Amino acid sequence: MMDKNNLKKTKSFVVPILLLVLLSIISIASINTYINISMFKQHMNEDIEKYKENYLEKNKKDVYKKVHLFNNSIKFQMTKIESKLKKALKERVTTALYIADNIYKSNKGKITDKEIRKKIIKHLKLIRFNEGRGYYFIYDSKTSIIYSHAIKNLVGKESFKIKYADGKSIYNSHKEVLKDNKISFLKTSFYKPNNQNKLYPKIISIVKYESLNLVIGTGEYLDIIEEQIKAYTINRFSNMEKEKNRYLFALDLHNINGGDAFATMILNPNRKDLIGKKLNDSYKDAKGKEFRKEFLQELIKKGECYTKYWYKKPEMKNPKPKMSYFYLNKNWNWIIASGFYFDDLEKEISKKEYEHNIYTQSAIYKALVLVTLLSFVVIIIAILVSLQIDKIIKEYTDKLVENKFELELAQKVAKMGSWSLDLITNELKWSNETYKIFEINQNEFKSTYEAFLSEIHPEDKDIVDIAYKKSLKDKKPYSIIHRLSMGNGKIKWVEEKCETIFDNNGNPLKSNGTVQDITKEYELQQHQKMQEKLIFEQSKNAQMGEMIGNIAHQWRQPLSVISTAASGIILSKQFNTLTNEKENEFLKGIVDNTQFLSNTIDTFRDYIKEEKELKEVILQDRINNAINIIESSLKNNHIKLINNINDTESINIMMVVGELSQVIINILNNAKDALVGNNIEKKIIEVNLVKIENRAILTIEDNGGGIPNNILPKIFDPYFTTKHKSLGTGLGLHMSKDIIENHLKGKLYAENINKGTIFTIELPLN
């Protein structure tokens, strides 16, 4: 239960909260209502504008389709009629060919070819068809002389001198299409027998009768066909029902530049009174616009256009705004058009506005009801929440005190303190544990950055100051290990970590950090490093002992050669048998073997030299040097060494000279011991080197029986050995792994393969 004071505090706290909530709800309701009204109004306007755009676009597409449906119907009818016409003409030519062939065959051998030709011409000249319009024309395919034609003055003339509308002669035009004695067709323009002053479009069908060198043909004038199609098309579209005040109308154009009688109305379901009448381009609509001049100018430029004007609507007296699409059919010189009225759009817009207004009122009402209900709910929640606030604050305060105690306890256990530095006021705050780590009385400390620096070991003070200031400059956290000077001459090692908060302009505001006493851990780490160094030295000394033995083996033979050569010189002099050639031979043997001994010393010196500097070397050279050191020992133990490393192109690598040699010698010695210890009959060690991308991979493989699987994971542990204590320290492979992975940043691992073990060394080349 809360006491009376707490209850009083809670009540005084609840009242302003309730007032604030009520004011907030009223404000939210007002703003929400205003926003809803504005949004609905904006939405309505956007919807109407979008509807206008869609209406205009849709109707423009509709009238466009309507006009082109009309135009495509004309094209279809023309194509259909032309197809039928060609078929009929072909039949006429086939008939003529049949007649000519019959006359030729029945008279051949009885009369001359010339007389047969006259008979054929006489028969075909008399034939008329298509209401007298159709006739046959005949000319000689060699001489081009015309024998028969409906236009009398062409008979007897040469056909290559008479030209069609395109400028080509009749003879050459026919020659281009006549192939393989087949019936051919030609579309051109030519005179009519009854009108030789004007050219008319015409389709001609011709065939070559080879027996008598005759070209026989006939044709039909297309203007007559076109007139029939025009009449059919107008009749068809005149009887079509109007769709929502949309209809087709068409003009027969006389002068595209306009004038008093620029066109004749040939189709208009809305104004049938205009059909057959001449139109004037100066006609004005209800707003005084000469719209006919406008669409004529656009048709001259583009051949099609949309034009807006006022025009009488079907079944209405007054004109309404309208847009029509006009298209010029150049073949027939017709203007085809269709349009739509804008008053239909206004009706739809009014309908939309009404629907939007109803929707807006409904939405606003719903919003007000929702806000009112929400207000009651929020008031109830606010009362309940306010009653819990005091309880939460009390619990939070208690928890804060508890957390502070736990934090201080955790810092004490971890020997870690926290601190913060206000970079505006230079005020430094430490936790209790920080004071304990620095062994400073809280009341005596000045709590500034400069005071903090004064407690750092003199040799580390500048390093810490530079590191902190660099972190401020780079705007990055930092971590540093340094020493503290205690008053009693004692030194502590601490790890300092810090992160700084910056404002929007990049100015530092406050640094927060931790300090941890790591004296024991640091000293233990240093002790471990000394132990590792000692282990390394022990391993290297053990290997040096083995190397000295190897060198002793290597030196026996060259020393024996030198001794023998020297003795040979002495004896030869005593017996007076020493010639210059013999002396030079002895001396050359001494020099060569002395050079071999010198090279062995250089290799041994590279191995034992304490170098830490990185050098660029050829990897194959370092491997071969290591192999040379141990090669004689391998031969003495009857071990065959297969060295394949020179099969790979030279590989350059940065390393400390001598480190890799130690690893290779160690692995080769282990392989030798395994081969000898297991009494392998044919002892083999194989060394391979490959380069894969940015890595060099060196493998050393033996057939010494392998390593038992239960101890294979332990072979790189320090002091682990399977040999007798007098034969091994158990440090060689441990230090080899340390050199490869920590010094050379590579990988060293072993696995059993076939009848032995393979050690793999992976070295990065970059």
**Residue 247 phi, psi (nearest 5):** -150, 160
Instruction: Based on the fold, state whether residues 511 and 545 are members of the same structural domain.
Output: no
At residue 297, the pLDDT reads 94
Q: Which of 695, 600, 683, 690 minimizes the C-alpha distance to 644?
A: 690
Q: What is the mean pLDDT of each run of 10 residues along the chain (766 residues)?
A: 46 62 70 73 78 86 90 82 87 92 93 92 89 88 89 89 85 84 87 84 91 92 80 78 70 92 89 88 90 93 93 80 92 89 78 76 73 73 69 64 53 71 89 86 84 86 91 90 83 90 91 89 78 66 62 65 74 76 74 67 59 81 86 88 88 85 88 89 93 93 91 81 54 84 91 91 90
* Range of the structural domain that residue 326 is part of: 240-341
Instruction: Based on the fold, state whether residues 420 and 497 are members of the same structural domain.
Output: yes
Decide the pairing of beta strands 304-312 and 639-643.
unpaired
Instruction: Based on the fold, state whether residues 716 and 569 are members of the same structural domain.
Output: yes
| Alpha carbon distance 657, 663 (integer Å) | 12
| Alpha carbon distance 581, 129 (integer Å) | 131
| Alpha carbon distance 663, 627 (integer Å) | 11
At residue 6, the pLDDT reads 47
State which H helix or E strand residue 694 sits in: none
Neighbours of 275 (CB within 10 A): 16
Give whole-number Cα distances, 198 to 148, 162, 191, 526, in Å: 21, 15, 6, 119
Q: Do residues 729 and 713 lie in contact, with contact meaning Cβ atoms separated by under 8 Å?
A: no
Amino acid (one-letter) located at 22:
L
| Alpha carbon distance 322, 685 (integer Å) | 101
Answer yes or no: is 13 within a domain.
no
Among 341, 361, 392, give the residue marking a domain's end.
341
How many domains, in total, are found in the chain? 3
Instruction: Based on the fold, state whether residues 594 and 571 are members of the same structural domain.
Output: yes
pTM over 0.75: no
Among 341, 360, 378, give the residue marking a domain's end.
341
Among 341, 373, 399, give the residue marking a domain's end.
341
Instruction: Based on the fold, state whether residues 486 and 535 are members of the same structural domain.
Output: no
Return the half-sphere exposure (C-beta side, CA atoms, 13 A cut-off) of residue 109.
2
Q: Which of 59, 60, 67 minimizes the C-alpha distance to 248?
A: 67
How many contiguous H segments (helices) and E segments (strands) does the chain have? 14, 23
At residue 394, the pLDDT reads 63
Instruction: Based on the fold, state whether residues 499 and 565 are members of the same structural domain.
Output: no
If you compute the radius of gyration of the chain from its CA atoms, what whole number of angstroms results?
57
Decide the pairing of beta strands 683-692 and 639-643.
parallel
Instruction: Based on the fold, state whether residues 485 and 531 are members of the same structural domain.
Output: no
DSSP percent split of the chain into helix, strand, coil, nearest 5? 55, 25, 25
Cα pseudo-dihedral 742, 745, 746, 748, rounded to 10: 0
Which DSSP symbol is given to 506?
S
Instruction: Based on the fold, state whether residues 454 and 568 are members of the same structural domain.
Output: no
At residue 328, the pLDDT reads 94
Answer yes or no: is 435 within a domain.
yes
The domain spanning residue 328 has which CATH number?
3.30.450.20
At residue 546, the pLDDT reads 61
Q: Do residues 125 and 148 lie in contact, with contact meaning Cβ atoms separated by under 8 Å?
A: yes
At residue 726, the pLDDT reads 42
Report DSSP letters for 458-522, one per residue.
Answer: HHHHHHHHHHHHHHHHHT--EEEEEEEE-TTS-EEEEEEEEEEEE-TTS-EEEEEEEEEE-HHHH
The owner of tokens 């056909």 is 159
